[in-house]
């Protein structure tokens, strides 16, 4: 029996099955520093203990995407080692901030299976939950991936496609306990714009750009203990290119969006997302956003803003799809999320 992990194939998943993912991870100020070194991240709440305390939190939480990447990375050996494509995200809820010293682990449940008509692959839907050392859920999200079959003769499972919310409702969002934006300091945060200053349909070109290097995306992806070969091994693909982890593009775009959305402080909901085109080293990532919705929350001074975040490879802002309905070749990411913002 081979000792190495071959990954799972489509026929290895059972509907309802629960998978405990290996290698829990304790996070520290080191991960925060690296996050700031890898991305131009400046949201004040994740940057300053003092700012966070003035907003009712015990200290600055780690960037919400540190939580996402850490929880996600653990699932790779069990879910996407043999994935052909990462098809989508839905119902992502950030349930609780994560602080330096917390230890995260991940668990996934198979909530849907659908073999493709070609019989060679199928779509696996999992709901993944990240928990801290107290067993409290910090994040849950649904992801579906296309996975190869190994044994083409294995019988197709009963098809079950879960019903997923296209968008989380504001009351689905978990606002961190104690969060209070009534004394929010817009000068320290970097921009004066509050929730009322944004209109649904408004678009924002985030102006800045970052050209990505191989060393950076590999360091980021290893940091989350994501093990997919294709990100690290230049001999793996025939063209000698290393595919950049989609989450690296998410973090880069989110950090770039500070310029224009400095007060969109915490990501609390992930409605959906598509990695429209692959990203490679040498690409210059730029970003633009569109305001999709705004809402109130029950926390004092805290509103919610729903945003489309688009990362491009230097493409013109506000262009998303061609006449054929397909993403334009310069579009890397189309993400739909909820963030918290002072009212």
Contacting a copy of itself within 244-303 (CB under 8 A): 259-262, 282, 284
- Three-state DSSP class for 217? helix
Burial class (CB in 10 A: 0-12, 13-18, 19+), 230: middle
Minimal distance, residue 199 CB to a copy of itself, in Å: 11
Site for a copy of itself contains 28 (CB under 8 A): yes
Q: Where are the alpha helices (DSSP H) in the chain?
A: 29-38, 44-47, 49-54, 64-79, 186-189, 214-223, 246-256, 258-261
CB of 104 to a copy of itself, least distance (A): 9
Q: Which residue has the tokens 């929010």?
A: 184
Q: Which two tokens stand for residue 214?
A: 């191989």
DSSP secondary structure of 43-106: -HHHH-HHHHHHTT-SSPPPPHHHHHHHHHHHHHHHHTTTEEEEEEEEEEEE-S---TT-EEEE
Task: Show the binding pattern over residues 78-97: x = contacts a copy of itself (CB under 8 A), - = does not.
Answer: --------------------
**Binding residues for a copy of itself, total number by CB under 8 A:** 79
149 near a copy of itself, judged by CB under 8 A: no
Q: Which is nearer to a copy of itself, 73 or 170 (CB)?
A: 73
**24 belongs to the binding site for a copy of itself (CB under 8 A):** yes
Binding region for a copy of itself (CB under 8 A) out of 29-37, 85-93, 163-171, 268-276: 29-37
Residues 101-130 that bind a copy of itself (CB under 8 A): 101, 103, 105
Check residue 187 for interaction with a copy of itself (CB under 8 A).
Answer: yes
> Is 27:98 a contact under the CB 8 Å cutoff?
yes
Cβ distance 230 to 275 under 8 Å?
A: no
Burial of 88 (0-12, 13-18, 19+ CB in 10 A): middle
Q: Do residues 267 and 139 touch, judged by C-beta distance below 8 A?
A: no
Question: Least distance to a copy of itself from the beta carbon of 265, Å?
Answer: 12
Is 314 among the residues that bind a copy of itself (CB under 8 A)?
yes
Contact status: 229 vs a copy of itself (CB under 8 A) = yes
Kindly state whether residue 343 participates in binding a copy of itself, applying the rule CB under 8 A: no
Comparison of 263 and 297: residue with beta carbon closer to a copy of itself: 263
194 forms part of the interface with a copy of itself (CB under 8 A): no
Tell me the chain's radius of gyration from C-alpha atoms. Answer: 20
Instruction: Considering the complex, state which of residue 201 and residue 215 has its C-beta at the smaller distance from a copy of itself.
Output: 215
Segment interacting with a copy of itself (CB under 8 A) among 157-165, 170-178, 228-236, 325-333: 228-236
């Amino acid at each position: 029996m081979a000792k190495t992990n071959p990954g799972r194939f489509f026929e290895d998943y059972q509907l309802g099955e629960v998978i405990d993912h290996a290698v829990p991870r304790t996070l520290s100020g080191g991960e925060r520093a690296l996050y700031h070194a890898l991305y131009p991240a400046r949201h004040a709440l994740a940057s300053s203990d003092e700012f966070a305390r003035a907003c009712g939190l015990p200290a600055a939480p780690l960037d919400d995407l540190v939580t996402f990447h850490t929880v996600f990375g653990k699932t790779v050996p069990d879910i996407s080692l043999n994935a052909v494509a990462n098809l989508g995200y839905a119902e992502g809820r950030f349930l609780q901030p994560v602080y330096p010293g917390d230890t995260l682990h991940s668990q996934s449940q198979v909530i849907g299976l659908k073999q493709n008509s070609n019989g060679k692959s199928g779509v696996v839907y999992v709901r993944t939950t990240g928990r801290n050392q107290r067993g409290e859920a910090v994040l849950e999200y649904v992801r579906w991936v296309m996975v190869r079959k190994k044994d083409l003769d294995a019988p197709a499972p009963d098809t079950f496609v879960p019903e997923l919310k296209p968008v989380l409702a504001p009351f689905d969002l978990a606002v961190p306990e104690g969060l209070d934006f009534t004394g929010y300091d817009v000068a320290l945060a970097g921009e004066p714009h509050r929730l009322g200053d944004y209109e649904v349909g408004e678009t924002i070109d985030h102006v800045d750009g970052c050209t990505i290097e191989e060393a950076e995306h590999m360091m980021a992806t290893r940091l989350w203990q994501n093990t997919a070969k294709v990100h690290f091994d230049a001999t793996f693909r025939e063209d000698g290119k290393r595919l950049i982890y989609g989450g690296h593009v998410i973090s880069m775009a989110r950090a770039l969006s500070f310029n224009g959305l400095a007060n969109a402080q915490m990501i609390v909901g992930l409605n959906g997302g598509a990695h429209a085109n692959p990203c490679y080293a040498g690409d210059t990532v730029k970003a633009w956003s569109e305001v999709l919705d705004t809402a109130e929350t029950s926390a004092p001074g805290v509103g919610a803003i729903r945003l489309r975040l688009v990362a491009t490879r230097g493409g013109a802002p506000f262009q998303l799809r061609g006449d054929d309905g397909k993403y334009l070749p310069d579009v890397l990411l189309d993400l739909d999320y909820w963030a918290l913002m002072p009212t």
